[in-house]
Chains A and B, each alone.
Chain A
């Protein structure tokens, strides 16, 4: 009986098989990487200015709200306007080369373009103000920002991670006035910083409609 498939066809079939396996592997890796988002746990994304939270928060002790001024009133914590930067830097390090983009922004009126480190999918509606009001410390999600020369992400930001706290918020909460203290929640709580607000309904916290709409 004559061969049904020519050697060339057999080769192509084999190649196609291999190609399929390789493509599948590549696709899985790509999808995984894709959903990781920028600023993986280990590395910090590049920014137009290498702004150091370590210096401003850790060394200088500037309150979070000096720059992130809408964190208590809005879903969005707020990124400081050029004006805010210049309120100090019109006096300090006025000729530092690193700050050239800030001065240029002030002079030209063109805003700075920062790279977002904590990005959520567009169908998730996170609100800073309510988390702050309910005594979730900045450090709970953002980590030791006061020790980061460049901000990087320390939490996966995946739904499982959110739900961990939404299912049992108590250990993650502290006294509302101590939200901006850069100490782990367990330490704050041990030092008497137990939450002074209450969660009306923990069942509500795990409703889909709490974050998705």
Chain B
């Protein structure tokens, strides 16, 4: 049943060609394209008549639209064809799992949502989880096993490995090495144990470029053993973050964001929480902080030491540190300090001790066994590298990862690989590493295989396949099994046995089914460790004035793994709004001192490595600090990711993975062309984002932000007799994570356009996240504002459409009718919010776009020359309307959830029916914080905003004063 599913407005005329091949050659003469016009006149009358007859025959021979087929199942597989099914599984990133629900349309996974039952998701899904669907369908994925670049068979691989294992057997596996990434899969861990029992002399190494070595080492310093903190931001009234973007990255960030904002929104009973952020590059946590201080990496440690001193009764020079210390002391038991991976191990140990001292342990922070194990990635990779250098590595199996690209700059992994007689690279896509290995083995995507994983708090999930492997992939478990003595069963049996033992009784089967259905293994969260931190003597080195380099994962590409994902390449980085690029981020003052502007190029020299990078001036960046995003500059990522941006890994060393001081920086000639989606960051008195402090927000109870009736209008009022859909976006909760934009892109079949087209302002995102600065450019407050279509009551677009392609429907949605649109673009010209997007170049057929199978069959694919925009996920409203009308009832509040709303980790978006005065959206509209964008234009939007409410410390700033 392929035919009815895939909607493609572009698949119209032009498909039925090819019937009259005999005359086609001569017709081509009429084109006049190749042979100029002269050739056309060579046509004789006889030829002309023949052609006319042929053309007439073409018309009368019953030329019809394309003949569509219906291909039913042989045996039925789904309850009802055409109705999507959802499967629970989990995605692992950096060793930690996040529960997801995968929407499958007739067996094709098309959309990923969060799993409400999973503690790391609670129903939300971040950028990476949602974009994973595009990874699955990536046409650049490995399609088969290769031996030195030549196609090989699975039998050949198995034979080669078997012979190797036979040979290694007598030596107990000496020379056999496995290089893994962080993994929390109990099944894989058991397999590796079995392997080490068979080959006791073999070694397993781990390399994760975005490793957590510092925090684990810090725990070892503080507790004498490895432990991982699990934060409960819902219990924290005061949070102090040292370079820790707890809402934007790392395991559990979706949950952290949810907990933090739940606590922040709870204004009635207690004052909201307060966040102090000290950081060396702008992050999402910094943007939502009540107080933010940009500090160079060296100064961060000093600030922490000052804080520790102030908490002991000493004093702090830095006024913000002193204020934070006082605030922490007055909230004992309800406060937490968090440190990021870039802080040195001693800093982490100090933080553990301070949290213990402040009574945060057991409340806002708990400790568990590290879910990925007690691993020092840096040492592990260095040990492997020195053995490879010494020539003692005979067989190397690289299970995922791309160490040739992402190993630290001082580990020459590519050269070392040449010394390994047999190397096997097992990965989703051919990459830099596979080119340097003997064998490359395609890995299955996580939607294609059986496995298991643990979340940030230890909760286990079963990873179940949603689709059969698209390209002969081999799962990690099957790969390791090739090195083991042959065992029976399938990977499913192995995973099942891991959780249920060998039991195949009915009760066991029921438990297994429940695990798969819920996506969570019940009661599997890690047990809390009772730990007391030792005293730490932390004396950070003095900081001299020098350039510091800061290495950060790219917000979109992670460690480079997602470089071939067009959705992620084109998502604007939250702070810089750059797409398809990375840059050396400089503060405005540093740029002035170097004499550079955004787009100029600088040369950075540090140690033996040297790099030329384009500059982007980023307000809020600390002075003398250059932030470089890792994960760009891939050379063998695929057709989307090759050559995008520059590679910063060579500058990164094993000893200083996150920051480095003492770089030489100078301006060099040449200019770089960036593509950004927002050139202007000032609000210019128009206040698209309204920001209040808590006392002012309290005062709004008497006088709401918008308490006057809307101005008069000449247009007649619309009358509604049914639902009135509306949306409210809470700007306090928005953390600028872009999850909504990717969710919308996946749900609504929105194409990417590429860097050049973005430069022309032609990006297609239906919901964008605007970023504004308030205050000085050195230390601004950053505000985010998601902007979908406002669905105006007095819509300026509707009155200018000459063909009635954009009209008001009976439920108040301003709908765009693609089949009527002729592409005048008048509507877009007249839209004051600039939310309409025009498809200039048939972007849906661009290289790198997902295939038809990956598209949402419920949404039309728009062709070139058509305007499109947000329609409040009309397909979801329609589905709910049809389902409820079949039951003869109205749609209940909460039954329609838009894609952006479902994805939002902080529940910033409320959507529903205004005709029901008890609906969540009606209540939100009654809030005194509610306001509409560009109200003076009297467009009367259905989408409104809640002003951003911050809770700054009155001792630091008098309430109401701007700046930060």
Contact = CB atoms under 8 A, between A and B. Distances in A.
A80 B75 CA distance: 9
Interface string B68-86: 1111111110011111000
B24 interface: no
Contacts of A70: 79-83
A204 B64 contact: no
Given A74-B80, A76-B1, A78-B80, A207 B72 contact: no
Nearest to A109: B74
Given A29-B59, A75-B82, A119 B68 contact: yes
Contacts of A83: 73-76
Contacts of A73: 79-80, 83
Contacts of B60: 29
Interface stretch (B317-325, B630-638, B812-820): B812-820
Contact of B885 (A15, A30, A200, A209): A200
B810 A201 contact: yes
Nearest to B814: A209
Interface string A115-132: 110010111010101100
Contacts of B83: 70, 73-75
A155 interface: no
A12 interface: yes
Contacts of A122: 6-9, 11, 860-861
Contacts of B12: 121
B63 interface: yes
Interface stretch (B378-386, B568-576, B871-879): B871-879
Contacts of A82: 72-75
A45 interface: yes
B189 interface: no
Nearest to A28: B59
A209 B873 CA distance: 11
A82 B72 CA distance: 8
Given A79-B72, A82-B75, A212 B885 contact: no
Contacts of A109: 74
Given A133-B886, A213-B874, A33 B76 contact: no
A36 B885 contact: no
Contact of A15 (B45, B74, B860): B45
A76 B82 contact: yes
A50 interface: no
B64 A26 contact: no
B48 A15 contact: yes
A209 B813 contact: yes
A22 B811 contact: no
Interface stretch (B50-58, B90-98, B444-452): B50-58
A208 interface: yes
Contacts, number: 179
Nearest to A127: B882
Nearest to B873: A213
B67 interface: yes
Nearest to B887: A133
A30 B72 contact: no
Contacts of B861: 122
Contacts of B72: 78-82, 111-112, 114
Contacts of B80: 69-70, 73-74, 76, 78
Nearest to B76: A81
B722 A79 contact: no
Contacts of B69: 113-116
A207 B74 contact: no
A129 B63 CA distance: 33
Given A26-B58, A34-B13, A82-B75, A204 B811 contact: yes
A34 B3 CA distance: 18
B381 to A, nearest CB: 48
B1 A119 contact: no
Contacts of A76: 1, 4, 80-82
A197 B860 CA distance: 30
Given A37-B65, A213-B875, A26 B71 contact: no
Interface string B1-27: 101101111011100100000000000
B488 interface: no
A148 interface: no
A73 B810 CA distance: 25
A122 B878 CA distance: 17
A184 interface: no
A106 interface: yes
Contacts of B73: 81-83, 111
A79 B1 contact: yes
Contact of B64 (A12, A38, A105, A201): A38
Contacts of B55: 22-23, 26
B807 interface: yes
Interface in A76-120: 76, 78-84, 105-106, 109-116, 119
B59 to A, nearest CB: 5
Residue with the greatest number of chain A CB neighbours at <10 A, chosen from B16, B45, B721, B878:
B878
Interface string A167-187: 000000000000000000000
A35 interface: yes
A49 interface: no
A123 to B, nearest CB: 5
Contacts of A125: 7, 858, 875, 878
A130 B882 contact: yes
B817 A129 contact: no
B82 A74 contact: yes
Given A75-B82, A119-B65, A33 B74 contact: no
B888 interface: yes
Contacts of B7: 122-123, 125
B65 A116 contact: no
Contacts of B210: none
A19 interface: yes
B194 interface: no
A116 B68 contact: yes
A112 B70 CA distance: 8
Interface in B843-862: 858-861
B65 A208 contact: no
Nearest to B813: A209
Contacts of A129: 882, 886
A134 to B, nearest CB: 8
B715 interface: no
A162 to B, nearest CB: 13
Contacts of A81: 72-76
B74 A110 contact: yes
Nearest to A85: B72
Contacts of A119: 65, 68
Contact of A121 (B3, B56, B819, B885): B819
A53 to B, nearest CB: 15
Nearest to B862: A123
Contact of B809 (A75, A106, A133, A207): A207
Residue with the greatest number of chain A CB neighbours at <10 A, chosen from B60, B73, B83:
B73
Contacts of B486: none
Contact of A123 (B3, B860, B886): B860
Contacts of A106: 74
A65 to B, nearest CB: 12
Contacts of A19: 48, 52
B748 to A, nearest CB: 10
Given A26-B55, A75-B83, 5 more contacts: A12-B41, A74-B83, A123-B7, A125-B875, A208-B817
Interface of B: 1, 3-4, 6-9, 11-13, 16, 41, 45, 48, 52, 55-56, 58-60, 62-65, 67-76, 79-83, 721-722, 807, 809-811, 813, 815, 817-820, 858-861, 871, 874-875, 878, 882, 885-886, 888
20 contacts: A27-B59, A29-B60, A30-B63, A33-B62, A38-B68, A76-B82, A82-B75, A111-B71, A116-B68, A116-B69, A119-B65, A122-B860, A201-B810, A204-B809, A204-B811, A207-B809, A208-B815, A212-B817, A212-B818, A213-B858
Across chains A and B, which 3 residue pairs bring their CB atoms closest together, nearest first?
A76-B82, A70-B80, A116-B68
